[in-house]
Amino acid sequence: MAIRLLFAAVLLVATAGPPAHAVEPSERLADPTLEARARALSKELRCLVCQNQSIDESNADLAHDLRLLLRERLVAGDTDQQVRDYLMARYGVFVLLDPPFAPLTLLLWLTPPALVLGGAGLLLLRARRRRSDPAVPELSPVESARAAALLGEPR
């Protein structure tokens, strides 16, 4: 029991640490305000190699290049939205970790709920058909009594 608690505590400490950041010291901007904006933006952008990590967390070469490009655009005076628009123009909407709800992304947003609702509908339909299936005969009174006796239920 004590070993399990110790293992759980070690696992909790190991997984509850701060998130890893791949930003190298050479990438950081001297202006703390611009660097804070760059870090916030890099957490919103997807690494196109890793696909489930932001460019802030990824060590891929492309993520490094995107972080540098992002910082160049901020130093040039672009707003956050201009940087996002620039990167979307070059790499598509997929570069955003949280793509907007737009006609281009409708399939992305509507597929999961459609699959869940479709699956639930199929399960309900199957349950209804099974309940009214004439191939499943009713138990006779003798069979019902035997089943109750086997299950230990009173008659």
| pLDDT for residue 14 | 61
Averaged pLDDT of the chain = 82
d(CA 123, CA 119): 6
Question: What's residue 120's pLDDT?
Answer: 95
109 and 72 in a common domain: no
pTM (2 d.p.): 0.57
pLDDT at res. 136: 67
Which one, of 80, 74, 65, 66, lies nearest residue 30 by Cα?
74
Instruction: Decide which of 62, 79, 99 is a domain's last residue.
Output: 99
Q: Which domain holds residue 32?
A: 18-99
Q: How many domains does the chain have?
A: 2
What is the model's pLDDT at position 63?
87
- Is 111 in the same domain as 48? no
**Do residues 109 and 71 share a domain?**
no
Q: 87 lies in a domain?
A: yes
Inter-residue contact 97 to 53 (CB < 8 Å)? no
Structure tokens, 103: 């006609």
- Most confident region among 13-22, 48-57, 142-151 by mean pLDDT: 142-151
Structure confidence at residue 155 (pLDDT): 60
Confidence of residue 18 (pLDDT cuts 50, 70, 90): very low
Is residue 116 located within the same domain as residue 67? no
- Tens of pLDDT, residues 56-65: 888 888 888 8
Residues 69 and 140 in one domain: no
